[in-house]
Structure 1
Amino acid sequence: MPEDGSDEIGKAMTTLRKPDLYDLFTLHAKARGELTETPGQADAVFSVEQGLTPYDIEEIMAEFMV
């Protein structure tokens, strides 16, 4: 019986590593700017309390995942 590749597809789907928000924003900073020590020095802030928060899903998807 010829193999249809479903084993490889299943393995790829279960072992796929997606970046979390920390990795995504760190990559963004390295590619487009630099990390700062304080929010006052930053042009963009990624935080739970201020700036772009993890709850701003639509903006994150539109601006950082394209």
Structure 2
Amino acid sequence: VCKHIEGPHWYKELLQQEIHKQKEYGELIIILQEQKDKINRFIDLNLLMDQTFYRLEEFNHEHGM
């Protein structure tokens, strides 16, 4: 998307950073929506919470947070 943008180098870098943040945000939204959908099907909420925290820890590790 940003390969053909004209302008200063710092602007291109900021734009790339913002695109990266949006992708991370999108991944988090997907995780949270999937877990929300599971709430209606799970009786064992402790297991669901453990799975949710595991996925969030995985996300943090992948993105260096």
Give the TM bin, normalised by the shorter chain.
0.3 to 0.5
More helix, by proportion: 2
- Structure possessing the higher relative contact order (Cα contacts under 8 Å, 6 or more residues apart): 2
